């Protein structure tokens, strides 16, 4: 297949004054920075940008809190202490249960708060920057944890979850965008996938904590896991205060000196550090200028106009597929396993194994990134999970100890597949596909759709599993096998490959309407028009000198 080539249009460069020597120098510096980053190996990039990787990973740790509470609250539905405190007696089971409507309400309350946090972050991060936004909402988090800890009823607990959900909504997009903007292209998939691993680390931590308090009597059995959330806010607030600002964010806010000082802090000392910083700053300004030509104003409405509509679609579906792939069942693993016949302690033990997959899977995914594209890994993961869901759903029609064991094993396998492929690969895709000026807003919209999908899932999944509602049990796997298949079909036709592409190249591929299946093989030169102008200018100078 013959490679195609894409170059910028004149309209995309309308904001440049190509008669200005300063602009010409800016373009040359941008080319130097782009060329230098392309030559880096992973080892060289880690050595050169170890400070950037450190700050990206440190601020991504904020997602541990969200992952921690997501599983804590769903695990409580199967915890005896929580059921005795807030549940109602069920004759069929012979003990108290949290009703399916309240399970949906508690899980959805935090999602509603996250929706508000996402919208707030879209404005605050653009206006004030990443660091101030994180500091404010870390302080918010430290205060509102008191509500669920002292909750006397499910209503107050739901309100507390909603209040905690606001900072979680902020951290969901802030951590991803910050991580992808402070490191070079070759390291982007690793630091953004690490965001997912932090989320998984929170889930693993919560699974271990809930298992550890099984024997703790009374309200302390469910209050202690909430109290442990106070470990994070203050240290991370201090980390955000000390961290450098995202240079891309600073340039978009016209704070060039702040961007320059951040770039100085994000790379190691070297004799050429000043020149490299200026070249990188020039590249960021160059890419931002190209984006301004198409996204002037950068409002939410711009995300649904022109080529940005396609980028928004990709973000929305890739986020929603995180749940529709079958992950919704895994989120209710404790309740699901108990309904399948496991004891409470057995369910919590298997849940720890499931949660460990989030870390192990992320590490394995890192090994795949150099060899396979984002879309390839993502679609293979969907296909494998589809097979597991069909098997889980089929086992729902059988009974027996061996059937229960098979369901448990398949849940572990499904979680491992999800966290090797779909889970971590989602983050570099959603970070890379939006245009720079609309990155925060596009990711916010995509995550908004993710949370809406989560509300839908939290409304139907408990009813599928609960013996007091639809009582599908393992048969719920067939429902999510169907949604998984729809996502896989969409990915084949609409999910582009962004591996090894710079932000500028991705912009041009979208602006020129390149089909998803051709993204990988299309050649891009974002400096083509500038090079032509530069060559003509140099020829003109030579001619004038010759005439004199």
Q: How confident is the model at residue 528 (pLDDT cuts 50, 70, 90)?
A: low
Of 237-251, 310-324, 401-415, 485-499, which gets the smallest average pLDDT?
401-415
User: To 10 degrees, what angle do helices 528-547 and 21-38 make?
Assistant: 130
The C-alpha atoms of residue 102 and residue 99 are separated, in whole angstroms, by: 5
Residue among 368, 325, 63 nearest 196 (CA): 63
When pLDDT is cut at 50, 70 and 90, the band that residue 11 belongs to is very low
Q: How confident is the model at residue 7 (pLDDT cuts 50, 70, 90)?
A: very low
Taking only the tens place, the pLDDT of each residue in 224-262 is: 988 988 988 999 999 999 999 999 889 888 898 999 999
Identify the pLDDT of residue 543. Answer: 34
The region that residue 7 occupies, defined by phi over 0 for left and psi between -120 and 50 for alpha, beta otherwise, is beta
Q: What is the pLDDT of residue 10?
A: 38
For the segment 310-319, the average pLDDT, to the nearest whole number, is 95
Q: What is the DSSP code string of 39-106?
A: T--HHHHHHHTHHHHHHHHHHHTTHHHHHHHHHHHHHHTT-HHHHHHH-EEETTTTEEE--HHHHHHH
Q: Count Cβ atoms within 10 A of the Cβ of residue 274 and give its class: 0-12 exposed, 13-18 middle, 19 or more buried.
A: exposed
Q: Is 6 helix (H, G, I), strand (E, B) or coil?
A: strand
| Count of structural domains, the chain | 1
Please check the confidence at residue 539 and state whether its pLDDT lies above 80: no
In this predicted structure, what is the pLDDT of residue 144?
Answer: 94
Residue 369 has pLDDT above 70, yes or no: yes
Whether 195 is in a domain gets the answer yes
- 296-310, pLDDT tens digit by residue? 556 788 889 888 999
Which of 145-149, 178-182, 351-355 has the lowest average pLDDT?
351-355
Distance, in Å, from the CA atom of 254 to the CA atom of 208, rounded to the nearest integer, reads: 46
Among 78-82, 153-157, 425-429, 430-434, name the one with the lowest average pLDDT. 78-82
CATH number at residue 185: 1.20.1250.20
Distance from CA of residue 462 to its chain's centroid?
Answer: 25
Q: Which residue has the higher pLDDT, 29 or 167?
A: 167
Residue 299 belongs to what domain range?
Answer: 5-541
DSSP state of 524: E
Produce one character per residue of 423-445: b if its CB has 16 or more CB atoms within 10 Å, e if not.
bbbbbbbbbbbbbbbbbbbbbbb
Q: Would residue 547 count as lying in a domain?
A: no
Average pLDDT score over residue span 375-392: 95
Is 286 within the bounds of a domain?
A: yes
Give the separation between CA 410 and CA 142, rounded to whole angstroms. Answer: 38
In this structure, is residue 546 part of a structural domain?
Answer: no
pLDDT (0 to 100) of residue 267? 84
Of the given ranges (63-72, 98-107, 305-314, 315-324), which has the lowest mean pLDDT? 63-72
The yes-or-no verdict on residue 538 having pLDDT over 60 is no
Mean pLDDT of 212-216: 84
Mean pLDDT for the chain?
82
Query: Counting every residue, how long is the chain?
Result: 548
476: three-class secondary structure by DSSP: helix
Q: How far apart, in whole angstroms, are the C-alpha atoms of residue 244 and residue 230? A: 25
266: in domain: yes
Q: Per-residue pLDDT for 495 more than 60?
A: yes
Q: In this predicted structure, which of 25-34, 89-98, 357-366 has the lowest mean pLDDT?
A: 25-34
CA 458, CA 449: separation in Å to the nearest integer? Answer: 14
The rounded Cα 302 to chain-centroid distance in angstroms is 22
Name the nearest CA neighbour of 173 among 205, 147, 199: 199
- 57 part of a folded domain: yes
Percent of the chain at pLDDT above 70?
A: 84
Please give the pLDDT value at position 236: 92
Is 548 domain-assigned?
A: no
* Residue 340 within any structural domain of the chain: yes
More confident residue, 532 or 276: 276
Task: Tell me the average pLDDT across 331-344.
Answer: 66
236-239 long-range CB contacts below 8 Å, 24 or more apart? 236/59, 236/61, 236/62, 236/134, 236/138, 237/134, 237/135, 237/138, 237/139, 237/142, 239/58, 239/59, 239/61
- Using 50, 70 and 90 to split pLDDT, how confident is the model at 474? confident
Q: Return phi, psi of residue 214, to 5°.
A: -55, -35
3-class DSSP state of 235: helix
Res. 460 pLDDT band, cuts 50 70 90 = confident
Residue with more model confidence, 504 or 91? 504
Sign of CA dihedral 366, 367, 371, 373: negative
Find which of 27-41, 483-497, 519-533 is predicted with most confidence, using mean pLDDT. Answer: 483-497
CB 470 within 8 A of CB 464: yes
Task: Note the pLDDT of residue 306.
Answer: 86
């Amino acid at each position: 297949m013959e490679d195609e080539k894409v170059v910028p249009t004149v309209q995309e460069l309308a904001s440049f004054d190509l008669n200005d020597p300063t602009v010409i120098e800016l373009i040359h510096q941008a080319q130097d920075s782009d060329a230098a980053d392309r030559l880096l190996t992973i080892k060289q990039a880690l050595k050169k940008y170890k400070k950037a990787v450190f700050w990206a990973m440190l601020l991504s740790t904020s997602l541990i809190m969200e992952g921690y509470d997501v599983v804590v609250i769903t695990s409580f539905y199967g915890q005896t202490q929580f059921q005795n405190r807030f549940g109602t007696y069920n004759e069929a089971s012979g003990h108290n249960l949290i009703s399916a409507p309240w399970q949906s309400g508690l899980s959805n309350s935090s999602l509603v708060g996250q929706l508000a946090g996402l919208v707030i972050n879209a404005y605050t991060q653009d206006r004030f920057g990443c660091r101030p936004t994180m500091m404010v909402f870390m302080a918010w988090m430290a205060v509102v944890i008191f509500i669920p800890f002292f909750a006397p009823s499910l209503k107050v607990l739901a309100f507390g979850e909603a209040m905690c959900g606001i900072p979680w909504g902020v951290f969901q997009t802030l951590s991803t965008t910050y991580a992808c903007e402070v490191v070079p292209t070759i390291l982007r998939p690793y630091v953004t996938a690490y965001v997912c691993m932090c989320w998984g680390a929170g889930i693993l931590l919560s699974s271990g904590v809930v298992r550890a308090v099984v024997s703790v009597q009374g309200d302390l059995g469910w209050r202690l896991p909430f109290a442990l959330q106070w470990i994070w806010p203050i240290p991370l607030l201090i980390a955000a205060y000390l961290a450098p600002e995202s240079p891309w964010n600073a340039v978009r806010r016209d704070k060039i000196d702040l961007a320059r000082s951040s770039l100085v802090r994000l790379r190691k000392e070297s004799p050429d550090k000043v020149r490299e910083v200026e070249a990188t700053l020039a590249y960021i300004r160059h890419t931002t200028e190209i984006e301004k030509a198409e996204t002037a104003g950068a409002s939410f409405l711009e995300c649904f106009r022109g080529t940005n509509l396609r980028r928004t679609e990709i973000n929305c579906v890739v986020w929603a597929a995180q749940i529709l792939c079958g992950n919704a069942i895994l989120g209710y693993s404790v309740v699901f396993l108990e309904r399948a016949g496991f004891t409470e302690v057995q369910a919590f033990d298997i849940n720890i194994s499931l949660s460990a997959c989030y870390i192990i899977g992320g590490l394995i995914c890192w090994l795949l990134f150099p060899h396979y594209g984002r879309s390839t890994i993502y679609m293979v993961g969907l296909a494998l999970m589809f097979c597991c869901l069909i098997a889980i759903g089929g086992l729902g029609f059988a009974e027996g100890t061996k059937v229960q064991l098979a369901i448990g094993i398949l849940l572990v396998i499904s979680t491992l597949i999800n966290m090797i492929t779909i889970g971590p690969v989602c983050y570099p895709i959603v970070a890379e596909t939006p245009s720079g000026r609309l990155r925060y807003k596009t990711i916010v919209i995509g995550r908004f759709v993710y949370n809406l999908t989560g509300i839908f899932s939290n409304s139907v999944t408990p009813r599928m599993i609960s013996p007091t509602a639809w009582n599908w049990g393992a048969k719920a796997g067939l429902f999510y096998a169907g949604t998984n298949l729809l996502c896989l079909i969409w990915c084949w036709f609409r999910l582009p490959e962004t591996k090894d592409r710079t932000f500028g190249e991705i912009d041009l591929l979208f602006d020129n309407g390149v089909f998803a299946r051709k993204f990988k093989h299309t050649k891009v030169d974002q400096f083509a028009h500038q090079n032509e102008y530069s060559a003509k200018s140099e020829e003109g100078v030579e001619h004038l000198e010759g005439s004199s």
